[in-house]
Structure 1
Amino acid sequence: MTRSIIIVLDSVGIGEMPDAGNYGDVGSHTLRNIARHVGGLELPNLARLGLGNIEEIPGIPPQAQPMGNYGKMAEVSLGKDTTSGHWEIAGVILKRALPTFPQGFPPEFIQRYERAIGRGVIGNEVASGTEIIQRLGEEHMRTGKPIVYTSADSVFQVAAHENVVPLPELMRYCQLAREMLTAELQVGRVIARPFSGQAGQFYRTSNRHDFALQPPGKTLLDCIVDRGLAVNAVGKIHDIYAGRGITDFIATKNNMEGVDKTLDYMATTGSGLIMTNLVDFDMVYGHRNDAPGYAGALQDFDRRLPELLARLRSDDLLIITADHGCDPTLPGTDHTREYVPLLVYGQTIKSGLNLGLRSTFADLGATVAEFLGTEPLAVGTSFWPKIRKN
């Protein structure tokens, strides 16, 4: 009946990595810079687990005896996107960065895509999803042309009003894009971005769907399922891993629903893994340079953390981490190349240990693999021997 719960606080980075300059991210520190911007963060429950022991963060004092074990992890994969971060957590390291398109997608590809879907498209630029539907939404509704756009992430996004392009048709457009984006155009995700509303008041609906690449190697999730254990996915985890190695999943509309669904799985899952992505930090606040909103979302999660701790069984292993940074205080709206925090708690493991700087996110996956008794991952060094009680 052994279980691990991994909660990924999407984009909650904890300081620039040594190669941050290669990505234009010098000075990035999502947590510290937000704390300075708002005059200090109040995260007492994360502090008790040891968050303030990892780095100096205004408002989060280090604990003399943290409840959890703490450290931070470096990303080996090239890039700073959601896909590579999550894949590395699960033991797959990308040696080549997934492609991005700061000038939009090649015109010849867009022409082929238009022929494939049977209509023209508008956009084909780097843009904020909420901004571009306000700017091009009326033209889309008048012409019926879907809005194509990308970001600093490796994505091809297609936005369409649900009254203009029915959802099944939008999903077909995205599936076609997924099949067509190969070789040097092979982005990490194709994302359907349906929206609704009227001119000046367009809003994205909850019917988003990601068409992800298959991970190019065996993941932690695959290993757990191979052992006959459950893997329950909350939020966009199912999409990130293209549904592979997952026995049950549920999409969520926001962070708080993500916490609710995690608690539901904790009440029913016998053994295996519950893996949750809380995307609001990144999608709603980081990419919109909203530091006060980001701070509020962190505090909202912190207030829910005691519920998660109370639902833990005595032999559960809880790990809280992130997949990259998205410092909202820096110019631009891109992800940032940062270390990610590592907080590890369980009622029957050691506590208060400094796990140090882990050389790869895959150390997390290697630890969970050893904890659950699966085959070892191809990469990563388990810290399970360090935290287990003899």
Structure 2
Amino acid sequence: MNIEDGELLKRVIWIVLDSVGMGEMPDSAAYGDKGVNTIAHVYKHNNGLQLPNLTQLGLGNIEGMEALEKCESPIGTYARLAELSRGKDTTTGHWEMIGIHTEVPFPTYPNGFPKEIMDAFEERIGTKTLGNCTASGTAILDDLGEEHMKTGYPIVYTSADSVFQIAAHEEIIPLERLYEMCEIARELLKGEHEVSRVIARPFVGQPGAFTRTPNRHDYAVMPPKENLLVYAKEKGLDVIGVGKISDIFAGEGITYATHTKSNEDGIKKTIELIKQPNHGLIFTNLVDFDMKWGHRNDPVSYGKGLEEFDSYLPQIIEAMNEDDLLIITADHGCDPTTPGTDHTREYVPLIAYSKMFNGAIDLGTRKSFADIGQTICEIFDLPALKIGESFYKQMTK
């Protein structure tokens, strides 16, 4: 394909494999992440992975990629992306992709939230709370779920991320009330305590057998308006969020959103959307890698999840039009083989594929996740972002 031919891309299908990092960055040690490598360690823990379609697209050819085999004639464009922003969380990574540079990291609370915050929150909701600690989302239910059911007090907890999470049994605190509590927390957490997300974490079941439901809802900080999604929406393009995309951006710049129950559900919904006559951006987040396997130190299931995604790639590509572009990347790492359960500061892979392009383009190591957003801005003739460098012309050689 040559740009001179007048052929233009009409749509971008952008899939974020949440937490699928590919090795430590030069500053990873400062984040406590020396030696991390999500893909390589998952590969080694599983004694290999069957990823024939990702391999054909060039995943193993990316600079610095360990363990995975290279393809002699990859059909995709591929690169390794560094994170320019300060942080290693979902919001920071996704925001950078669309052109927002986070220079001051969002606050975290390894020892729980300060007394003034909790006192104000309890006063506003009219009840005491349980927890106020750093915990795994499943372990906290084992620890406090039964007491929550007896007292009716919501469970407040955080993680290594910048989050204020409220867990409640759907039969004890109805969803509408839980969401109201989250809105109150979002109003209170301003200034120095402006966490990136307040998250409703509803669950069901009985002691010893609690399970979280798909009715999670995120209340994110509103992103600055100078970003790819807003520019695309203002131009009249479709900006379709699949999974937690709309929540991450507080709905800003999104024209249609659909939530998902699992990676497989997200993949299938993405395929159905590809088959529809939309024009613009289909933006999907597949969260199970992070939420179900990375944070829970489960490299075996993580590997199976990668293989499951790979198995759907032929269907994704078959559904694509000639003038579609597929982008596959990640927002941070979450190495499930590390002692902790935190995200890990890592490079992330980038794969780009279109039936219009020849492929086998090695873009090396890029300086920012925003290179994706800047490229999409060039594709759709949108205003340039403040950070990032487009790889559109390199990709179309």
TM-score strictly above 0.5: yes
Where structure 2 has 5 or more consecutive residues not aligned to the other structure, the ranges are: 1-8
Classify the secondary structure of the residue corresponding to 1:191: strand
Kept in 2, the 8 Å contact 1:6–1:318? The answer is yes
Do the aligned partners of residues 237 and 269 (structure 1) sit closer, same or farther apart at CA in structure 2, a change above 3 Å counting? farther
- Aligned-pair distance for 1:226? 1.1
Aligned residue in 2 for 1:285: 293
Kept in 1, the 8 Å contact 2:22–2:65? The answer is no
Residue 57 (structure 1) aligned with residue 100 (structure 2)? no
Pick the aligned partner of 2:112 from 104, 114, 120.
104
TM-score between the two structures when normalised by the length of structure 2 = 0.96
- Aligned-pair distance for 1:350? 3.4
CA distance in 1, matches of 2:387, 2:151: 50
The letter for the 1-side match of 2:66 is I
Aligned residue in 2 for 1:181: 189
Where structure 1 has 5 or more consecutive residues not aligned to the other structure, the ranges are: none
Aligned residue in 1 for 2:4: none
CA distance in 2, matches of 1:219, 1:255: 26
Aligned residue in 1 for 2:6: none
- Aligned-pair distance for 1:388? 1.6
Residue 124 (structure 1) aligned with residue 132 (structure 2)? yes
Within-5 A mapping of 1:128-139? 128-139=136-147
The letter for the 2-side match of 1:251 is H
Pick the aligned partner of 2:164 from 153, 156, 165.
156
Deviation string 1:295-350 (CA, Å, 9 cap, x unpaired) is 00000100011110111110111100000000000110000000000001001123
Aligned residue in 2 for 1:66: 74
Residue 236 (structure 1) aligned with residue 254 (structure 2)? no
Kept in 1, the 8 Å contact 2:222–2:249? The answer is yes
CA distance in 2, matches of 1:129, 1:355: 38
Give identity over the alignment, percent: 53
Aligned residue in 1 for 2:314: 306
Pick the aligned partner of 1:226 from 234, 243, 254.
234
Aligned residue in 1 for 2:221: 213
CA distance in 2, matches of 1:134, 1:211: 25
Deviation string 1:205-245 (CA, Å, 9 cap, x unpaired) is 11000000011242111111111110011000000010010
- Aligned-pair distance for 1:44? 0.6
Kept in 2, the 8 Å contact 1:2–1:270? The answer is no
Aligned residue in 2 for 1:40: 48
Within-5 A mapping of 1:22-33? 22-33=30-41
Task: Kindly report structure 1 stretches of 4+ aligned residues shifted beyond 2 Å.
Answer: 55-58
Deviation string 1:62-104 (CA, Å, 9 cap, x unpaired) is 0111010111101111000000000000010111001110001
Classify the secondary structure of the residue corresponding to 2:34: coil
Deviation string 1:120-149 (CA, Å, 9 cap, x unpaired) is 000000000111011100100100100000
Residue 94 (structure 1) aligned with residue 64 (structure 2)? no
- Aligned-pair distance for 1:117? 0.3
Kept in 1, the 8 Å contact 2:75–2:358? The answer is no
- Aligned-pair distance for 1:37? 1.1
RMSD: 0.9
- Aligned-pair distance for 1:40? 1.2
Aligned residue in 2 for 1:331: 339
Report the number of matched residues.
Answer: 388
Aligned residue in 2 for 1:246: 254
Kept in 2, the 8 Å contact 1:74–1:357? The answer is yes
The letter for the 2-side match of 1:193 is R
Aligned residue in 2 for 1:271: 279
